[in-house]
């Protein structure tokens, strides 16, 4: 017996957290009955689980992909405005989903997988996995601005965790900065930069934990190496 949300994640439906929301939203059936209880356990050998009108089964093999996401693409499967999704770039038969999000105007390293446990590890705040970004921001922050950013800013009535920021170079009257955070709040870096008075002009993620974008070109993707997959499993 195993928890329904864990089973759904292992079937490649979504991350475990997202699967919990699907259950709460009444999108999952077990043996023909809609389930809205997160505590339910199922027997994969006997119970029939359905999502979106189809029976789901465990993934036979796990897939791990790194994409250099271009701007102008969303990281959700569907969009009410009809904007292109990162899944339009990666044309494979297997069902995969993005791990976390990069907003529409942000580029860079995005992981996609059908391994719900790995996705859950990467997104859960308790693991404090560093994410590294390069941003061009308007104006040049002084030491006071940088210290405010590093020590935490109030977003949604809650302080952000301590972060890192350093100026890499000055471009006319603007600055290129390196930012390291381990949280994943909605548009967090953009909002933090706005709060210190230096809004983001461009934003690119270059690293998640030990996984680096390297020389992967914009719009290109590749499968993770065995060493990279093992790193994720050891988190």
Per-residue 3-state assignment (H helix, E strand, C coil) for 23-88: HHCCCEEECCEEECCCCCEECCCCCCEEECCEECCCCCCCCEEEEEECCCCECCCCCCCCCCEHHH
Instruction: Give dist(CA 138, CA 194) in Å, integer.
Output: 10
Give me 41's structure tokens.
Answer: 């356990």
Instruction: Give dist(CA 202, CA 96) in Å, integer.
Output: 27
Instruction: Give dist(CA 56, CA 13) in Å, integer.
Output: 8
- Output phi, psi for 150, to 5 deg: -65, -35
Whether residue 11 is predicted with pLDDT greater than 90 in this model: the reply is: no
Whether residue 79 is predicted with pLDDT greater than 90 in this model: the reply is: no
* DSSP letter assigned to residue 125: G
Instruction: Give dist(CA 137, CA 60) in Å, integer.
Output: 45
Catalytic residues: 103
Exposure string for 29-56, b = 16+ CB within 10 A, e = fewer? bbeeeebeeeeeebeeeeeebbbeeeeb
Q: Are 131 and 207 in contact (CB under 8 A)?
A: yes
Instruction: Give dist(CA 181, CA 191) in Å, integer.
Output: 13
Q: What is the mean pLDDT of the segment spanning 132-144? A: 98
Kindly report the average pLDDT of the chain as a whole number.
92
Q: Are 61 and 92 in contact (CB under 8 A)?
A: no
Q: What is the mean pLDDT of the segment spanning 5-14? A: 88
Q: What is the mean pLDDT of the segment spanning 126-148? A: 95
Whether residue 192 is predicted with pLDDT greater than 80 in this model: the reply is: yes
Which of the two residues, 60 and 31, has the higher pLDDT score?
31
Which of the two residues, 204 and 10, has the higher pLDDT score?
204
User: Coil, strand or helix: which one is 111?
Assistant: strand
Which of the two residues, 82 and 65, has the higher pLDDT score?
65
Q: What is the mean pLDDT of the segment spanning 208-223? A: 96
Instruction: Give dist(CA 190, CA 203) in Å, integer.
Output: 8
Instruction: Give dist(CA 135, CA 106) in Å, integer.
Output: 10
Q: What is the mean pLDDT of the segment spanning 74-79? A: 80
Which of the two residues, 48 and 72, has the higher pLDDT score?
72
Whether residue 157 is predicted with pLDDT greater than 80 in this model: the reply is: yes
């Amino acid at each position: 017996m195993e928890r329904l949300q864990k089973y759904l994640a292992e079937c490649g439906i979504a991350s475990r957290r997202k699967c919990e929301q699907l259950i709460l939203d009444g999108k999952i059936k077990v043996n023909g009955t809609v389930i809205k209880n997160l505590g339910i356990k199922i027997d994969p050998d006997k119970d029939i689980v359905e999502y979106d009108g189809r029976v789901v089964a465990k993934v036979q093999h796990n897939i791990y992909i790194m994409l250099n996401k271009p701007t102008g693409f969303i990281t959700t499967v569907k969009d009410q405005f009809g904007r292109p999704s990162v899944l339009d770039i990666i044309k494979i038969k297997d069902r995969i989903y993005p791990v976390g999000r990069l907003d529409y105007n942000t580029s860079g390293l995005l992981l996609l997988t059908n391994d719900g446990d790995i996705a859950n590890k990467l997104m859960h705040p308790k693991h404090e996995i560093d994410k590294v970004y390069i941003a061009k921001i308007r104006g040049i922050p002084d030491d006071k601005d940088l210290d405010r950013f590093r020590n935490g800013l109030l977003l949604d009535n809650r302080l952000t965790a301590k972060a890192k920021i350093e100026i890499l170079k000055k471009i006319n009257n603007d600055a290129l900065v390196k930012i390291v955070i381990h949280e994943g709040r909605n548009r967090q870096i953009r909002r933090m930069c706005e709060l210190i008075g230096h809004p983001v002009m461009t934003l690119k993620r270059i690293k998640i934990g030990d996984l680096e974008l390297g020389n992967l070109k914009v719009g290109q993707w590749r499968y993770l190496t065995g060493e990279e997959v093992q790193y994720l499993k050891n988190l």
